[in-house]
Amino acid sequence: MRFFRTLLCASFLILSSALALLIPVPVQACPFCSAPSLTLSEQYAKADAAVLVKWVSGEMPAKDRLGTTTYEIVQVARTPVKSVEAGKKITLDRYRAGKKGDLALVLGSRTKGDSLDWGSPLEVNADSYNYIVEAPSPESKAAERMAYYLKFLEYHDRMVAEDAYAEFANAPYKDIVPLAAKFPREALRKWLTSPDVPATRTGLYGLMLGLCGNDDDAALMQAKITESTQDFRLGIEGVIGGYLLLTGDKGLDVIERTKLQGKDVLFSETYAAMQALRFLWTYGNGRIPGERLKASMRLLLDRPEVADLVIADLARWKDWSIQKRLMELYGAEEYNIPSIKRAIIRYLIASTKDTAAGGGDEPPRHVTEATRLLEELRDRDAKMVNEVERYFFLQ
């Protein structure tokens, strides 16, 4: 079962990566977080009315009806109509189990006149209710908002902790970096190694520790990155990314040795290292020089299972030094795969289009060489070249 689970994860990564390459979209949210979701503050901000209620009674569903649930308004957080006030009761369609005094937050949308369309109640307690209504609005300055949610990462209330994480998952990287001095470094160390912290948060916490850590933290992160495993590890790419921010070239030596060079390295671990290299290229701000990152990525040309992804990355990074190497790989035994062939052709086409470095009447050498090699491939495999040219685009 472990083999098939690993294979499934690898297949998903290949598919998602291929789609990302075909449809270039700028990264807007935290690069190592799980998929962004609509947060509680966003839901609260969109509502016209918001009230804290307590469960009073319920009518059980019958054959021809869903039943009802009645709540009493305890506190009004927001209302556009005067008829909504503490002590009033609201009855919602559908029976919801509860006991007297159970608290919930109910959001409403104004319809016609003074009418409100109430949504489904969200179970809360005093802490979670205050967390929601006291949060800065989505229009507030990023520094204010993120500082607020930082306090609630791994909060004892599960709903609050999950929502605070979601706020970071939704946040652009540029909004996370300025908070580094306020990050709870000791807590981050514990969260990264605790089996009680959801694995989906590992990427964020690894990135955060990389932004605020020291040599001891680098050692802890290196131990986690290099530990022996045969399982797919959620978020390890964020730990690698944070580790590289913290250690630079020295850390990249470790990643090359343990994740990029060995053909027996688990695919998901190699792919995580690739994601970290991409992160450093986009967000590293020179922490590791671009030429060094290219050299690391080129090591993966020895891995046929990721070669198409590597070639696409190097094309985007305008590394035209591998033209001859790719011609040697085209159609070679382990590389005789349509996806790799297409990647090589796209790379050469991209090479021919990068004329900005010329600066004179003559095109750059990589342009003329790529043009020649492309024609050579056309003679060898005209159908494939014509197909790729027809659908070519690259960002």
In this predicted structure, what is the pLDDT of residue 30?
82
Cα–Cα distance between 171 and 184 in angstroms, integer? 18
156 and 30 housed in the same domain: yes
26 and 62 housed in the same domain: no
**Where is the domain boundary, 114, 133, 152?**
133
260 and 347 housed in the same domain: no
Query: How many domains in the chain?
Result: 3
The per-residue DSSP string of 126-170 comes to HHHHHHHHHSPPTTS-HHHHHHHHHTTTT-SSHHHHHHHHHHHHH
Q: pLDDT by residue (tens digit) across 307-324?
A: 999 999 999 999 999 999
In this predicted structure, what is the pLDDT of residue 133?
96
- Indicate which CATH number applies to the domain containing 128: 2.40.50.120
Instruction: Looking at the chain, list the stretches that DSSP marks H as alpha helix, in order from N- to C-terminal side.
Output: 2-22, 40-46, 126-134, 142-150, 158-170, 173-176, 185-193, 202-212, 215-226, 236-247, 249-255, 267-283, 290-298, 307-316, 323-329, 338-353, 365-380, 382-390
Cα–Cα distance between 373 and 345 in angstroms, integer? 9
83 and 122 housed in the same domain: yes
Cα–Cα distance between 86 and 144 in angstroms, integer? 31
29 and 50 housed in the same domain: no
311 and 356 housed in the same domain: no
310 and 290 housed in the same domain: yes
In this predicted structure, what is the pLDDT of residue 233?
94
What residue numbers bound the domain in which 220 lies? 2-37+139-321
With beta carbons less than 8 A apart as the criterion, state whether 129 and 50 touch: no
174 and 263 housed in the same domain: yes
Cα–Cα distance between 169 and 37 in angstroms, integer? 8
27 and 115 housed in the same domain: no
Residues 6+ apart with CB under 8 A from 228: none
59 and 169 housed in the same domain: no
317 and 332 housed in the same domain: no
pTM, two decimal places: 0.87
Residues 6+ apart with CB under 8 A from 111: 117
**Where is the domain boundary, 292, 321, 350?**
321
Which DSSP state fits 176? H
Residues 6+ apart with CB under 8 A from 52: 73, 74, 75, 76, 77, 103, 104, 105, 124, 129
In this predicted structure, what is the pLDDT of residue 50?
97
Coil, helix or strand at residue 72 = strand
72 token code pair: 């009493």
**Where is the domain boundary, 271, 287, 321?**
321
Low-confidence ranges of the chain (pLDDT < 70): 1-28, 35, 357-360, 393-395
148 and 9 housed in the same domain: yes
